[in-house]
Structure 1
């Protein structure tokens, strides 16, 4: 569940991740249907094009199945749409519990404005950059979790191909663009991706120079969201602790702060030119 404090901040509850329980429940349903169909895990895997170990992992709630696997299993075991009907909830379970509510709001946004200080925002990350970020996470994540987190992060980028694309802006600290996360080749690919996305008509990318003496963003990164229902929400995350700010006064203060940050940063055209210059140096 989520907790709301007196300031209108919605926080992820410590130690609670309903997605894990749902995955175990889904896995048990899948196992019951498989057994009712008289199939072993190996036989089911062969029919849907997956290995026995992968089927076992899904049934044990340790692996998050892709939508196409869910549909294929449903057909083979004669689930009658039971498993397929749970694809939406299975998809949500790809995200860690503390970020799940934010991801849902992000997907529904009509406006999204982001300020980042340490790494490139997940919406802009290449697969290689995202994998490097999760690989460096401490405590260490297992390979299966890394694969799930990378896939989930890339799935969020469907926002750029939505029929009604949101108005988006990103302010990135200059130091982030110099940090060789994953190595120079990965960084080069990441800079190219930022340039590509930055040329979209609904997206503006700005760079905050490290040498800027007057800086309104020293309190850390945050995201501003406006939903279809005209709700204005702010989101902040530190490590695995996140908060959604819903109280109007708190959100308004961050909106004002973001406006100043954008004014202090390089303009969008100057920023893209700067990133192109960096590409020639990497």
Structure 2
């Protein structure tokens, strides 16, 4: 795992444009046409391929990546005659490219994340990338300073959404998220964007493979007030920690340092609301009964 410990602080290379985003948008439109031709609602297709309705909607809009298993199952469910299966090799290649098109300083983390069997995120400044909606991610990148050009923003958004494919992988990795309550209160992108983002947290947090917790603002003690961090366990390797500050990525492999972050995370989870309490809080914020 030593190859992950090299800190990369070089400037990002010029934007590299490829057809990945267009491929996913085109596939989404094809799936929608096939579904409507079959006389199915999104929730009916979702039931037939054993995924959530939100995933079908996101794939049809081109903002989530259709995994090979999804294309295989959807092809049968829609009677597509191999049309969707034919795209699987291109999708696999696109997913492989997605791991290498991130900024240089972020690339090693993205690769480790995609290979992990356990992922634990503690969020302080913003909702973690794996949980962000398209609009929330665009707001985050649009307000970054120095200002990014529109092409770079769109590429960053597409890359961030492509990372979320790991949420739909099977067998699923172990996921846990602890979010500071302040993140749920801050209306990043405006009230409408914020409301949809909270809905996304509910959708992901209700999955059997995910534990989502909120650290309430009234806690008097806190073991990690300095910054966000992530704990990853890539398949067949030791656990690593990851921190990021102003574009400077740091993947930590030293066992003692990783132990410290793991210990902090354990205490944070113990002090946070339970997953059920956390989802109830988010539901109340959305005005759900």
Deviation at 1:67, TM superposition (A): 7.4
CA contact (8 A) 1:174 1:209 kept: yes
- Aligned residue in 1 for 2:268: 261
Confirm whether residue 183 of structure 1 aligns to residue 190 of structure 2: yes
Shift of 1:165: 0.8
Q: TM-score, normalised by structure 2?
A: 0.71
Aligned 1:67-78 pairs, distance under 5 A: none
Match of 1:278 among 256, 277, 285: 285
Tell me: CA distance 1:266–1:140, structure 2 relative to 1, closer, same or farther (3 Å): same
Structure 2 runs not aligned, ≥5 long: 24-89
Distance in 2 between residues matched to 1:199 and 1:9, nearest whole Å:
34
Once superposed, what is the RMSD of the aligned Cα atoms?
2.6
Assess if the C-alpha contact under 8 Å between 1:10 and 1:245 holds in 2. Answer: no
- CA distance in 2 between partners of 1:139 and 1:153 (Å): 19
Which whole-Å deviations, capped at 9, do the CAs of 1:21-66 have from their partners, x for residues lacking one? Answer: xxxxxxxxxxxxxxxxxxxxxxxxxxxxxxxxxxxxxxxx752332
Q: Deviations over 1:52-91 (max 9, x none)?
A: xxxxxxxxx752332776xxxxxxxxxxxxx999857743
Q: Is the 8 A contact 2:95 2:162 kept in 1?
A: no
Q: How many angstroms does 1:10 deviate by?
A: 3.0
Name which of 209, 212, 218 aligns with 2:216: 209
Q: TM-score scaled to structure 1, two decimals?
A: 0.73
| In 2, Cα distance between equivalents of 1:88 and 1:188 | 29
1:164-220 CA-to-partner distances (Å, cap 9, x unmatched) read: 210010000000001111100100000000000001111011001112110112121
Structure 1 stretches of at least 4 aligned residues deviating more than 3 Å after TM superposition:
83-90
Q: Does structure 1 residue 161 correspond to structure 2 residue 156?
A: no
Offset at residue 9 of structure 1 (A): 4.6
Q: Equivalent residue of 2:6, what SS?
A: strand
Q: 1:92 deviation in Å?
A: 3.4
Corresponding residue for residue 19 of structure 2: 65
Unaligned runs of 5+ in 1: 21-60, 70-82
Q: 1:140 to 1:202 in 2, by over 3 A?
A: same
Matched, 1:10 2:6: yes
The residue correspondences of 1:1-282 to structure 2 (distance < 5 A) are 9-15=5-11, 17=13, 20=14, 62-66=16-20, 90-280=97-287
How many aligned positions are there?
222
Shift of 1:234: 0.5
